[in-house]
Amino acid sequence: MGEIAINGPKVLWELPESIPLIGGQPITETMRNAWIVMLFILILCVTLTWHMKKIPKGKQVLAEKAVLMIDNLVDTSMGEGCHSFSPYIATLLMFSFFGSLASLFFMRPVTGDLNTTLGWALMTFVLITFNNIKYKGFGGYLKGFLEPVFVMAPLNVLSEIATPVSMSFRHFGNIAGGLVISTLILGALQALSNLVVGFLPVPLLQVGLPGILSLYFDLFTSAMQAFIFSMLTMAYVGNAREA
């Protein structure tokens, strides 16, 4: 029986040192899989919007329905007049969902790497800070750290910093945890299969349960984490826009 190793994303290769600024940069599984997911999303969007007509039918109906659903979600969560955030929210939803589903296609989930979710959380943090300053002014933004009393300033600063940290670790932890549990159970079933029915050419006990686990960890958890991350983004940014 082979040993089970649960490691971070593998380094596939490194960029040549001769390339300015990014020479020697390691290219990991996460980077490769992220580009594959982005290519899939691009092809999906192009396919659904190809040869659009004034009277929608077929795949165009699906595309327009998806846009309306995102717009309604943004309106409900952030208030009227926030449709400019719809493309960002739609991107988060699709990238998170399909990036987590990569495991169904024998690839390491993109969201199973903290670098991915932390990058998204930092972009959301920039949006939160920008809207706070835009709608409350720089002085009002700084004044918010002194509320309700000035002695709360250190805690308010920590709370602000904790926002992207908690968002990124929540998403990463759920996906990475599911990956670890699925791997351990698969390895245990393989060992039990070798022990009980080792005379068979295939690990019989691995049939069935891994598929059920995949439905939960890959499909349900992927959808839930994509939705939660997007909802938190809309909640935080929407709260920053309130004068």
pLDDT in tens, 74-84: 999 888 888 88
Q: What is the largest CA-CA distance in the chain?
A: 74
Mean model confidence pLDDT for the chain? 84
Residue 1 inside a domain? The answer is no
Residue 5 inside a domain? The answer is no
Cα separation, 86 vs 80, in Å, equals: 12
Residue 4 inside a domain? The answer is no
Smallest CA-to-CA distance from 238 within 135, 87, 158 is with: 135
Q: Give one DSSP letter per residue of 121-136, joined into a string.
A: HHHHHHHHHHHHHHHH
pLDDT in tens, 26-62: 889 999 999 999 999 999 999 988 888 887 788 888 8
Give the residue with greater pLDDT, 125 vs 186: 125
pLDDT band, very low/low/confident/very high, at 1 (cuts 50, 70, 90): very low
Cα separation, 161 vs 127, in Å, equals: 14
Pairing state between β 11-14 and 26-28: antiparallel
pLDDT in tens, 189-204: 777 767 666 555 555 5
Residue 219 inside a domain? The answer is yes
Cα separation, 10 vs 33, in Å, equals: 11
**Global pTM?**
0.83
Residue 45 inside a domain? The answer is yes
pLDDT in tens, 149-186: 888 888 989 988 999 999 999 999 988 888 887 777 77
Residue 2 inside a domain? The answer is no
Residue 149 inside a domain? The answer is yes
Which residue range is the domain that position 92 belongs to? 11-241
Number of structural domains the chain divides into: 1
Residue 18 inside a domain? The answer is yes
Cα separation, 59 vs 161, in Å, equals: 42
